[in-house]
């Protein structure tokens, strides 16, 4: 009986990536490559041979079993060329490499000299660490490397990996993926251009543009690794973590996807688009599960609106988030200084709550707005629609503005409330033990006299950051003194402290720690 020999088509290897594939698959030690072990027939139900067709080929049919070295080849039928030591097998092809590695397919072409097999159809490679399925697989027995180029899927534990091209080193248990790579596990999905996956330590190494999509965030990076067992991620070259309204970028990030804890290093940017807030620094720690982030080392927070931006610096900035990862509050600790064109300030610490949009300044706070300096034990500044709405000075409230080189207008009281319009203060109310010293001048700036007043309550009118009117309410008493009559010691109120030398003059000044003692009169 004669039968036409119908061998499977070969897939040609071409292009840079295919050239690399060929080099890896064909690489072998000279000593092993020179062996001339024949392929032995162990069993077949039927044998056919036609010398006129090809005297070197035997056709084997039914329960075919062949062997070369320690490798078994099983199939429904096969063509064996003893001269070229090549094998073409068909139907239920099974290569039993060893007790732990088995390869299956519909068709096989195997070169007994190079020990390279090429499988087609429904191909599966199974070992204890992974299951690989593809439509075309090239396997090199000498190197232990399997290669596919028509798309493949690998399942390893709870991880599923897909890619257009891939290598699998069956000795080291390492996969190399290229083009349209997708790694899926219960926690997240990773899309990459190039990815290396070690099935032993369960670590994926990514090179090139990579996107990691989690339940609540998206990670973008070009260089790093992710351990799917420990959930540890390490990223380099300006990675980015983004959620619905927040975005974290740094030179490098280490993160535990299970605990939600991470560290960021170098040129850090935390952007909250919902609240127009940008936090920068050089070192940050993130507790996503607790909703906390802190930034230190040249830390600065920038809030912005259509008119201007405020730059705030402190030794450490803390940002707190809710379960939906929306900012709840920000804390700034120690040596706080901030600058905005129309408002500057300093204090030891600040707390800002998103719920009421109030900035709270604690421990020796000072605010400067135009010519006015405001001090108190603590100061609360309310924000509405990204603009200053009002401020409250609690205990020992004091407002000072310079009238001339050595003379100052002063207002003092227990508490004060100031009101803003278009970020300009226009009215101040003083409540409790209100006192004032005011240098009264005519329209030509000529001095009329020095007004000293006391009242239980005062209302001050301000225009263009200058005090224009003072209304005294309840138990008011005031006296106008000629300049020569009032001695210098009576021209200041108790608690006077002029701190103009500490005032930030630009957004760069907030990083300078000035320790000039305040002037005392």
- Give the pLDDT confidence of 251-275 residue by residue, as tens digits: 999 988 778 888 999 999 988 777 7
* pLDDT over 60 at 162, yes or no: yes
Question: Band of the pLDDT at 325, cuts 50, 70, 90?
Answer: low
262 domain residue, yes or no: yes
Indicate if 444 and 482 belong to the same structural domain.
yes
Among 315, 339, 356, which residue terminates a domain?
Answer: 356
Indicate if 347 and 389 belong to the same structural domain.
no
* pLDDT over 80 at 18, yes or no: no
Helix or strand run (H / E) with residue 303: strand 300-304
78 domain residue, yes or no: no
> What are the pLDDT digits (tens) for 87-125?
999 999 999 999 899 999 999 999 999 999 999 999 999
Indicate if 350 and 371 belong to the same structural domain.
no
281 domain residue, yes or no: yes
CB within 8 A of 1, min separation 6: which ones?
48
> What are the pLDDT digits (tens) for 179-218?
889 988 887 888 988 889 898 888 989 888 888 887 667 8
Per-residue pLDDT at 21: 44
Closest CA to 104 of 85, 87, 86, 117: 117
Indicate if 287 and 378 belong to the same structural domain.
no
The domain tally of the chain equals 2
447 domain residue, yes or no: yes
CB within 8 A of 351, min separation 6: which ones?
329, 330, 331, 332, 359, 360, 362
506 domain residue, yes or no: no
Show the CA angle centred on residue 499, arms to residues 498 and 503, nearest 5°: 140
288 domain residue, yes or no: yes
Indicate if 328 and 409 belong to the same structural domain.
no
Indicate if 404 and 281 belong to the same structural domain.
no
Q: What is the dihedral of CA 63, 68, 70, 75, to 10 degrees?
A: -20
Spatial contact of 255 and 248, defined as CB atoms under 8 Å apart: no
Indicate if 318 and 404 belong to the same structural domain.
no
Indicate if 395 and 310 belong to the same structural domain.
no
Per DSSP, the three-state class of 179 is strand
φ, ψ dihedrals at 354, nearest 5°? -70, -35
Among 311, 338, 356, which residue terminates a domain?
Answer: 356
Among 305, 323, 356, which residue terminates a domain?
Answer: 356
Indicate if 268 and 347 belong to the same structural domain.
yes
Indicate if 295 and 375 belong to the same structural domain.
no
pTM reported for the whole predicted model: 0.72
Indicate if 394 and 470 belong to the same structural domain.
yes
Per-residue pLDDT at 119: 96
**Buried-state track 373-411, b at ≥16 Cβ within 10 A, e below 16:** bbbbebbbbbbeebebbbbbbeeebbbbbebeeebbbbb
187 domain residue, yes or no: no
Tell me which residue range forms the domain holding 336: 238-356
Per DSSP, the three-state class of 31 is helix
Spatial contact of 330 and 277, defined as CB atoms under 8 Å apart: yes
* pLDDT over 60 at 61, yes or no: yes
Question: Band of the pLDDT at 468, cuts 50, 70, 90?
Answer: confident
CATH for 487: 2.60.450.10
Indicate if 341 and 371 belong to the same structural domain.
no
Residue with structure tokens 């075919």?
Answer: 64
User: Beta strand pairing status for 152-156 and 159-163?
Assistant: antiparallel
> What are the pLDDT digits (tens) for 378-409?
999 888 876 778 999 999 999 998 887 788 99
130 domain residue, yes or no: no
* pLDDT over 60 at 521, yes or no: no
Per-residue pLDDT at 76: 96
């Amino acid at each position: 009986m004669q039968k036409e020999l119908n061998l499977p088509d070969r897939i040609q290897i071409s292009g840079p990536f295919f050239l690399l594939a060929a080099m890896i698959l064909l690489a072998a030690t000279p000593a092993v490559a020179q062996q001339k072990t024949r392929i032995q027939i162990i069993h077949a139900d039927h044998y056919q041979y036609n010398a006129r067709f090809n005297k070197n080929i035997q056709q084997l049919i039914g329960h075919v079993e062949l062997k070369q070295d320690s490798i078994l080849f099983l199939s429904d039928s096969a063509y064996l060329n003893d001269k070229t030591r090549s094998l073409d097998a068909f139907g239920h092809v099974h290569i039993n490499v060893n007790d732990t590695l088995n390869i299956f397919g519909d068709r096989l072409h195997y070169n007994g000299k190079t020990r390279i097999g090429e499988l087609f159809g429904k191909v599966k490679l199974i070992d204890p660490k992974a299951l690989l399925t593809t439509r075309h697989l090239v396997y090199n027995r000498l190197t232990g490397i399997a290669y596919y180029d028509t798309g493949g899927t690998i399942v390893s534990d709870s991880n599923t990996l897909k890619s257009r091209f891939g290598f699998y080193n069956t000795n080291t248990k390492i996969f190399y993926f290229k083009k349209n790579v997708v790694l899926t596990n219960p926690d997240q999905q990773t899309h990459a251009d190039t990815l290396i996956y070690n099935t032993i330590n369960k670590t994926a190494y990514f090179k090139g543009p990579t996107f990691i999509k989690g339940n609540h965030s998206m990670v973008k990076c070009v260089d790093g690794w992710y351990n799917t067992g420990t959930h540890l991620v390490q990223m380099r070259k300006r990675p980015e973590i983004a959620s619905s309204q927040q975005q974290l970028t740094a030179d490098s990030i280490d993160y535990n996807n299970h605990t939600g804890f991470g560290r960021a290093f170098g040129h850090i940017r935390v952007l909250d688009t919902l609240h127009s807030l940008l936090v920068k620094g050089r070192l940050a720690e993130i507790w996503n599960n607790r909703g906390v982030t802190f930034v230190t080392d040249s830390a600065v927070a920038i809030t912005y609106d259509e008119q201007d931006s405020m730059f705030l610096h402190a030794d450490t900035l803390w940002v707190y988030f809710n379960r939906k990862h929306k900012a709840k509050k920000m804390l700034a600790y120690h040596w706080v200084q901030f600058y905005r064109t129309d408002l500057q300030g300093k204090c030891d610490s600040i707390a800002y709550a998103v719920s009421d949009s109030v900035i709270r300044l604690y421990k020796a706070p000072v605010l400067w707005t135009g010519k006015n300096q405001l001090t108190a034990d603590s100061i609360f500044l309310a924000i509405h629609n990204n603009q200053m709405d009002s401020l409250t000075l609690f205990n020992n409230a004091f407002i000072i503005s310079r009238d001339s080189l050595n003379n100052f207008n002063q207002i003092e009281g227990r508490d004060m409330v100031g009101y803003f319009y278009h970020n300009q203060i226009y009215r101040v109310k003083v409540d409790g033990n209100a006192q004032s010293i005011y240098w009264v001048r005519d329209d030509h700036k000529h001095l009329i006299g020095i007004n000293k007043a006391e009242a239980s309550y005062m209302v001050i009118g301000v225009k263009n950051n200058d005090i224009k009117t003072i209304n005294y309410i309840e138990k008011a008493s005031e006296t106008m003194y000629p300049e020569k009559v009032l001695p210098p010691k009576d021209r200041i109120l108790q608690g006077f402290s002029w701190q103009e030398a500490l005032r930030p003059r630009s957004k760069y000044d907030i990083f300078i720690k000035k320790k000039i003692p305040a002037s005392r009169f």
